[in-house]
Amino acid sequence: MSLEIEGLSWGHALPGGGWRQLFDGFNLHCPGGQFVVLIGSNGSGKSTLLNLIAGSIPAATGSVRLEGRELLRLQAHRRARSIGRVMQNPLDGTAPGLTIAENLRLAECRRRSLLQPQALLGLHPGRGDRRRYAALLEELGLPLADRLETPVGQLSGGQRQTISLVMVCLGAPRLLLLDEHTAALDPRAEDSVMRLTQQLVQRLGTTTLMVTHSLEQALGYGDRLLMLQDGALIGDWSAAERQQFTPAALQALYGSATVPEEHISRS
């Protein structure tokens, strides 16, 4: 589903007094199914932008539409069902005391409860559910199919992020927001979570906005690369255009107020 952000504004009080207008009439249009990667220096507003889109921080003005439908006016629980989010901390997305199967069941019930509230009563995964989950995990190439009864709290950070991603996707979101979801992982787990991310985005065709700290990810994933600085986009490159960059060249743009002419596409 297409994402249209128009005229988004938000500011915050400064610790020493005064006001900082971080977003001031921010616009962004993404066609349905686009996988957008967002980078920018610390404090440039990446997480705030995702929070504004998700409505977890109320925007002062502006609109966020998914396929023409205003998200910011939806009730919080409906908005939450439209949007799948995976955050940086592997502890955030899953319930540690519940098993993998129970977590997956929870994610499915959350989606179904939109149609039938009584579905929430059947939280316990049945034999059929377990078979489906095992098949899904195998299909995704994840070595967790035989660990459905393991409490998620016993998994590694990478495995927890894996389950968080699968849960989000079981909810069939209309928009996927990923905020540095591999930042807390070791390089091997980072690779496997990124491969799964790519696979799920392709499989579901969900419009995706992924914030990353990793320049390698920024150059290797997604259909489009955005660079944010002080709440404004200073770079917007297609997958073909970003081939002009090495990680070091991209790094050099961090903290710039504007991107030099030679990096701006004329196409």
Ligand X SMILES: Nc1ncnc2c1ncn2[C@@H]1O[C@H](COP(=O)(O)OP(=O)(O)O)[C@@H](O)[C@H]1O
**Contact footprint for ligand X (CB under 6 A):** 12, 22, 40, 42-48
Query: Shortest distance, CB of residue 147 to Mg ion, whole angstroms?
Result: 31
48 binds, options ligand X, Mg ion, none, Cβ within 5 to 8 A by partner type: ligand X
Question: In the complex with ligand X, which residue's Cβ is closer, 83 or 142?
Answer: 83
Q: Note whether 9 binds Mg ion by CB under 5 A.
A: no
Instruction: Select 160 or 181, whichever has its Cβ closest to Mg ion.
Output: 181
CB 245 within 8 A of CB 238: no
20 vs 73 by CB, closer to ligand X: 20
E strands of the chain, at which residues?
3-13, 19-30, 35-39, 61-66, 69-70, 83-86, 175-179, 207-211, 224-229, 232-238
Quick one: 39 or 165, whose CB is closer to ligand X? Answer: 39
Q: Give 5's strand partners.
A: 28, 64
Q: Give which of ligand X, Mg ion, none residue 97 binds (C-beta under 5 to 8 Å, depending on kind).
A: none
Least separation in angstroms between residue 44's CB and ligand X is 4
Number of residues that bind Mg ion (CB under 5 A): 2
Nearer to ligand X, 40 or 158 (CB): 40
Minimum CB separation of residue 13 from ligand X in Å reads 7
Among Mg ion, ligand X, none, the one that 207 touches (CB under a kind-dependent 5 to 8 A) is: none
φ, ψ (nearest 5 deg) of residue 31: -65, 155
**Quick check: 47 binds Mg ion (CB under 5 A)?**
yes
Q: How far is the CB of 104 from ligand X (least distance, A)?
A: 29
Taking CB within 5 to 8 Å according to partner kind, which of ligand X, Mg ion, none is near residue 105? none
225 phi-psi bin (left φ>0, alpha ψ -120 to 50, beta other): beta
Q: Which does 63 bind (CB under 5 to 8 A by kind): Mg ion, ligand X, none?
A: none
Query: Angle of helix 157-170 relative to helix 100-112, nearest 10 degrees?
Result: 30
Structure tokens at 140: 């995704």
For position 89 contacting Mg ion by CB under 5 A, the verdict is no
Full DSSP string of 43-103? TSSHHHHHHHHHTSS--SEEEEEETTEESTTS-HHHHHHHEEEE-S-TTSSS-TTSBHHHH
Q: By beta-carbon distance, which residue lies closest to Mg ion?
A: 47
What sign has the CA pseudo-torsion 227, 233, 235, 236? positive
Closest distance between ligand X and the C-beta of residue 189, in Å?
Answer: 22
Residue 248 burial class via C-beta count within 10 angstroms: exposed 0-12, middle 13-18, buried 19 and up? exposed
Residues 6+ apart with CB under 8 A from 128: none
Smallest separation, CB 46 to Mg ion (Å): 5
> Is 4 or 180 the residue whose CB approaches Mg ion more closely?
180
